[in-house]
């Protein structure tokens, strides 16, 4: 299967994206902010279709709008947890605008399918390099804020008393999550990004209570699940996103067996 260039590109892009998604997703689950990641993926649909409408690559539309939405959510701070209804309305509005932009674009139906459900087998080498650059930047920023992020997550009152700004930490972290969501959407699409972002992190939290080990397990699971999904898609000729999500959810359900 590695004799084909599109398969080599798929494995490289999938591994790069999964590494960031798993690492970021661990902190996302740890902070009980999984719904925020889900919201960002839906907001990204409008960004991707809007980018197509103006002649820009969908990846950059995803990054731009999810980044703006992530910063806005971070500025809301703890109030975000009390506004589930408002977030749901925003999600519906974003999907509505996405549908409008897509209808104005008047392209093939496969364009909508690729945005909604991903198409890692269609990633070219230029996109791989773009994903690699975004991933390196995201991981560097996450490493820079990891200590105050953990402090503000596990002991928010004490962290604030020690001079750590929970709102600033939240803004920076959700900005990183936004970029990770935009990248993950290239692999599994905006509707299924939740599984790749949250599944490995949730499983890792059940498998180990150590922070460092948890991050490593989440990243490893995400990469393994993505590569397994791509390989199964090649063997069975079934959608890649289906296999990635199935493997990710299966691993999480198996992790529930551990007390």
Q: 132-143: per-residue pLDDT in tens?
A: 888 898 899 899
CATH code at position 59: 1.10.3470.10
Instruction: Identify whether 186 is part of a domain.
Output: yes
d(C-alpha 244, C-alpha 166), whole Å: 34
Instruction: Identify whether 145 is part of a domain.
Output: yes
What is the number of structural domains in the chain? Answer: 1
d(C-alpha 178, C-alpha 71), whole Å: 9
- Supply the range of the domain harboring residue 42: 5-192
Instruction: Report yes or no: 250 and 228 within 8 Å, Cβ to Cβ.
Output: no
Instruction: Report yes or no: 247 and 225 within 8 Å, Cβ to Cβ.
Output: yes
pLDDT in tens, 35-53: 777 777 778 777 777 777 7
Instruction: Identify whether 229 is part of a domain.
Output: no
Average pLDDT over residues 227-245: 90
pLDDT in tens, 108-136: 555 666 666 677 887 888 888 888 888 89
Instruction: Identify whether 37 is part of a domain.
Output: yes
The reported pTM is 0.81
Instruction: Identify whether 124 is part of a domain.
Output: yes
Q: Nearest Cα to 178, choosing from 70, 91, 94?
A: 70
Instruction: Identify whether 199 is part of a domain.
Output: no
d(C-alpha 182, C-alpha 61), whole Å: 9
**129: its two tokens:** 């390099």
Instruction: Identify whether 142 is part of a domain.
Output: yes
**48: its two tokens:** 């991707």
DSSP 4: S
Instruction: Report yes or no: 182 and 131 within 8 Å, Cβ to Cβ.
Output: no
């Amino acid at each position: 299967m590695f004799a084909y260039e599109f398969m080599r590109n798929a494995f490289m892009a999938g591994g790069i994206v999964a590494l960031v998604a798993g690492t970021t997703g661990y902190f996302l689950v740890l902070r009980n902010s999984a719904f925020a990641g889900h919201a960002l993926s839906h907001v990204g649909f409008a960004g991707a279709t809007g980018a197509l409408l103006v002649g820009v690559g969908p990846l950059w539309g995803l990054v731009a709008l999810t980044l703006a939405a992530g910063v806005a959510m971070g500025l809301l701070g703890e109030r975000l947890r009390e506004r589930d209804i408002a977030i749901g309305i925003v999600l519906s509005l974003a999907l509505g605008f996405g549908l409008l932009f897509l209808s104005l674009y008047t392209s093939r139906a496969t364009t909508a399918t690729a945005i909604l459900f991903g198409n890692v087998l269609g990633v070219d080498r230029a996109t791989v390099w773009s994903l690699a650059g975004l991933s390196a930047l995201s991981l560097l920023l996450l490493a820079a804020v990891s200590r105050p992020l953990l402090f503000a997550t596990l002991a928010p009152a004490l962290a604030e008393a020690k001079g750590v700004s929970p709102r600033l930490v939240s803004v920076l972290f959700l900005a990183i999550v936004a970029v990770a969501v935009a990248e993950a959407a290239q692999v599994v699409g905006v509707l299924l990004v939740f599984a790749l972002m949250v599944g490995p992190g949730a499983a890792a939290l059940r498998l180990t209570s150590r922070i460092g080990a948890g991050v490593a397990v989440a990243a490893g699971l995400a990469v393994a699940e993505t590569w397994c999904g791509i390989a199964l898609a090649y063997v069975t000729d079934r959608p890649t996103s289906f296999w990635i999500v199935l493997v990710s959810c299966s691993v999480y359900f198996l992790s529930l067996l551990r007390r």
